[in-house]
Chains A and B, each alone.
Chain A
Amino acid sequence: MIEKKKSGYWLSHLGLCLGVLFIFFPVWLAFVGSTVTQDDILQPPYPVLPGPHFFENYSKALFHGGPEGYDTGQISVLKMLINSTIMALGITIGKIIISLLSAFAFVYFRFPGRKTFFWIIFLTLMLPIEVRIVPTYQVAANLGLLNSYTGLIFPLIASATATFLFRQFFLTIPSEMVEAARIDGATPMQFFKDILIPISKTNIAALFVILFVYGFNQYLWPLLITTTPDMQTIVMGIKFMIPTGDDYGHWPTIFSTAMLAMLPPVLIVIGMQKFFVKGLLESDK
């Protein structure tokens, strides 16, 4: 603060609080919706304070996919959460492993085709899966990957962001370190395992947060590749709970599911905030 004017200081707080209000408002309403009954929601005005049905709504959603007598053709939300977590962890860990390996090869070796391979991988930076969605779906279908975790995970690993991040980080490691390891008689893989991985810890953690959020929140790809309910992920499974036409849908269940869908990635971002900020600021540059 350069001017020590009180008014400017309080105005800053006021402006920020308004921003926080805008950010929290929709989620607050969803939380309220997850604690009241269907009738409370269907009879306007919409409630703005939570009701007493928190445990009832969440347990029915989590274990039965909705209240009794309300057939959604859905699996339990718990199963969706498990599917989402497997997909997110698969994408995250898979991408980190293949990126660490290829970045290690690009930085510490000279081998035939190195430049070519580098540019080939570089090209994958540019195009998200949405652009080539139809042919990628055909490939997955031909390989028999529909309704499988492999099909949910692998097509989303094919991108080079993490490879570039690790490559850039490896280039900043002083060459004395490699030299010292070599004099001590370390093989390349020992150097990778005992030196490179430990000093990359912060970067790995930062990427973990970014990739977990990316993987958990996938929508279009799981929507296409899962045709049986038991493979649905929570972010796309919720689409089938939303009523179409004159149908009403069961809103307390939808809101409970929406809250549960936000919880894991939000907790990771807040719990690992330091790594998240680092990962975000670095991975997009």
Chain B
Amino acid sequence: MKNNVIFKGWWLPLLLVAPQLIISAIFFFYPSGQAIWNSLFLPDPFGLKTEYVGLDNFTFLLSDSYYRASFLTTAIFSISVSVFSMGLGLYLAVLADRLIKGAGVYQTLLIWPYAVAPAIAGILWMFMFNGRIGLISWYLGLLGYDWNHALNSGEAMSLVVVASTWGRVSYNFLFFLAGLQAIPKSIIEAAAIDGANFWKRFRSIIFPLLSPISFFLLVVNIVYSFFETFGVIDIITAGGPEQSTTTLVYKIYADGFIGQDLGSSAAQSVILLVLVGLLTVFQFKYIERKVHY
């Protein structure tokens, strides 16, 4: 913070930051500390007292095949959602950027799913594939394919990925479009005069210039798929079948509220906390580097 002129006094600024500090303390720091604390204890079956068990909750978790499977599930889910929504977003942004007129209209037509709640997106897609009556599952049935995402784990995963991707394309589209429009047209024109066709220009000029933003989007999309897609999964599959769509966040909820296994749920929170912390540090490191360039 450089040469900003500063007001005098110390009680006024303390008063000004107080609301945010108090709310953070009550609803952020205390619960986070509580999660760490609870992860070291095991409540007895009657909930009367808890017993200190050290790292037992963690060692038990890591030996639990369902928990280990939820890591893989989370990885498959978040990488698929990120790659598909970024791919589609980039594709549409490149097309819109090529237009002289009309890019604005397409932008309006493409960005609004950002405002649709993941849970609502889940309802829309769930119904299209709803066994007996959904539009797509019914036509698939006519073609002889019996779609049932309540029983088939591959279909369940595809459906939650498609529903989440649908809601996420607009976000990536906007960032890629802004990135493309920031590339000076003179560079691209120069390459065109040198005889580079569209694909050549895209590969050797546009894509490298977009790589910082792509990397940023990858991290943001992965974090998004970790947390914000809870509604999609809860509505479409509720984590099933056989926990095949139970992501790390969904498992914290399922074990903590439905299974009432507070120690395990708290330990999972701590593991996720570390994981997201690492991702964030990674992202900040990267942004710092970008600022230097």
Residues of A within 8 A of B (CB): 1-3, 8-9, 12-13, 15-16, 19-20, 22-24, 26-27, 29-30, 33, 41-42, 44-46, 48, 97-99, 101-102, 104-114, 117, 120-121, 123-128, 130-140, 143, 154-155, 157-160, 163, 171, 175, 178-179, 182, 188-189, 191, 213, 216-217, 219-220, 224, 235-236, 238-239, 242, 251, 254, 258, 261-262, 265-266, 268-270, 273, 276-277, 280-281, 284-285
Contact = CB atoms under 8 A, between A and B. Distances in A.
Interface string B228-271: 10110011000000000000010011001100001001100100
B31 interface: yes
B205 to A, nearest CB: 12
B175 A281 contact: yes
A27 B128 CA distance: 11
Contacts of A124: 24, 28
B220 interface: yes
A126 B92 contact: no
B24 A219 contact: no
Contacts of A220: 230-231, 234, 253
11 contacts: A29-B128, A101-B19, A109-B7, A121-B21, A124-B24, A131-B252, A137-B257, A140-B27, A220-B231, A281-B175, A281-B178
A215 B23 CA distance: 17
Interface in B1-45: 1-7, 9-10, 12-14, 16-17, 19-21, 23-24, 26-32, 34-35, 38
B86 to A, nearest CB: 14
Contacts of B253: 130, 133, 220
A158 B3 contact: no
Interface string B160-194: 00000010011100110010000000001100100
A3 B199 CA distance: 12
Interface of B: 1-7, 9-10, 12-14, 16-17, 19-21, 23-24, 26-32, 34-35, 38, 88, 91-92, 95-96, 98-100, 102, 106-121, 123-125, 127-128, 132-135, 138-139, 166, 169-171, 174-175, 178, 188-189, 192, 198, 216, 220, 227-228, 230-231, 234-235, 249, 252-253, 256-257, 262, 265-266, 269, 272-273, 276-277, 280, 287
A19 B110 contact: yes
A110 B1 CA distance: 11
B125 A108 contact: no
Nearest to A187: B7
A244 B265 CA distance: 26
Given A136-B31, A158-B23, A109 B230 contact: no
B252 A130 contact: yes
Contacts, number: 300
A131 B20 contact: no
Contacts of A128: 227-228
B14 A111 contact: yes
B21 to A, nearest CB: 6
B234 A1 contact: no
Contact of B4 (A29, A102, A160, A178): A178
B287 A261 contact: no
A119 B227 CA distance: 23
Given A2-B189, A139-B27, A266-B112, A131 B118 contact: no
B16 A19 contact: no
Given A46-B138, A158-B28, 7 more contacts: A44-B133, A98-B20, A102-B19, A126-B280, A157-B27, A213-B115, A284-B220
B27 A127 contact: no
A87 B35 CA distance: 26
A222 to B, nearest CB: 10
Given A30-B124, A178-B4, A219-B118, A135 B266 contact: yes
B92 A105 contact: no
Contacts of A157: 23, 27
Given A46-B135, A105-B17, A269-B115, A134 B276 contact: no
Contacts of A101: 16-17, 19-20
A97 to B, nearest CB: 8
Contacts of B24: 120-121, 124, 158, 160
Contacts of A284: 220
Contacts of B277: 126-127
Contacts of A266: 112, 115-116
Contacts of A158: 23-24, 26-28
A189 to B, nearest CB: 8
Contacts of A133: 252-253, 256, 269
Given A2-B192, A106-B17, A238 B100 contact: no
The 6 closest A-B pairs by CB, nearest first: A217-B117, A109-B13, A135-B34, A135-B31, A265-B115, A105-B16
A262 B116 contact: yes
A143 B22 CA distance: 14
Contact of B135 (A45, A105, A258): A45
A140 to B, nearest CB: 8
A111 B121 CA distance: 47
